[in-house]
Structure 1
């Protein structure tokens, strides 16, 4: 079966599961996307890895895994989303050490969080993309080059009315910066990411 390389297009609140997030992957040479529901912790971990401005004061679990692997000269060369059963994606980490290769099963959210730290490519099989993929239908000006900053609510729902209720919109820029520093100090990375997004929109 042929493999299709994917990239992270964005992360958004899930419109179907409360407290969850939707990670959207897009095929590099095409317009199909693969939406995957992930937990809040994994969403924060992926977002922090992609966002260079937010530095956690202590390493997250995926950062610890990366440090551990570096110390023992283990490298993740690629991540493969290899199976889809009842809406659940299964993934593998392809690991290499001293020329020897091992394949380890992993949750897809963890696998992608690690892929961002190892700069490892993400793949899935054509059959999975054909079965679960959807076509990206955003106008060109709404697609941003910086991965996770894409507003994905347009992909996952028909309305963005919740954005109008965002209390961050009522804060001044200075208040947003103060809240961002406080959120990082308190290791509240979900809030920090939302604050950073609002600051970016105003600059």
Structure 2
């Protein structure tokens, strides 16, 4: 059986080379290798929402998948990024119930959005890691980092200094409005400011 490498989510950045896309940075657990994967805006939002524990007014597609799986007593065992061909990653979702084990083809972005909702581990094959890895990739919110393999990116952890000027009541109103408008990135920033004051 091929050796699998366990990964963790390290960050999410806007991708300046492809409008409307993001780069998800996965890191080797107990290692220095990094695996950047370009994903769409919707999948980036789905991953960010679950990481930030923001509950949308209506269930998103990945939440619906979890409810559906739970309804039929399916669990997600793990996610495996299996391969990369011509710059495109491939993944499988390993799931099981009392009677059945199944393996479902998936885009890595969807698989990871589902994995974090189930608390399932994410792995990749050595082949996939060696195809797309970036050694010792580091990032922070204030500097742009680049690598020979990937375009320069700036990681999105922007804060709004103006939020500090609002009262707690006003921030709560703004949070409700942002959630109603499904502006979850803004909602996360407002919620962080509210948490600082509590």
- State the TM-score, normalizing by the size of structure 2: 0.82
Aligned residues: 188
Describe the shift of the 1:101–1:57 C-alpha distance in structure 2 as closer, same or farther (beyond 3 A).
same
Match of 1:69 in 2: 69
In structure 2, distance between residues paired with 1:159 and 1:9: 14
> Structure 1: which 5+ residue stretches go unaligned?
143-150
> Structure 2: which 5+ residue stretches go unaligned?
none
Match of 2:127 in 1: 127
Match of 1:19 in 2: 20
Match of 1:138 in 2: 138
In structure 2, distance between residues paired with 1:14 and 1:159: 6
Match of 1:41 in 2: 42
Helix, strand or coil for the counterpart of 1:117? helix
Match of 2:161 in 1: 169
Q: CA deviation at 1:82?
A: 0.3
Cα RMSD (Å) of the superposition? 2.8
Q: Which protein is richer in helix relative to its size?
A: 1
Q: 1:183 aligns with which of 174, 178, 185?
A: 178
In structure 1, distance between residues paired with 2:41 and 2:83: 22
Helix, strand or coil for the counterpart of 1:182? helix
Q: Is it true that 1:6 corresponds to 2:7 in the alignment?
A: yes
Helix, strand or coil for the counterpart of 2:160? helix
Helix, strand or coil for the counterpart of 1:83? strand
In structure 2, distance between residues paired with 1:107 and 1:167: 30
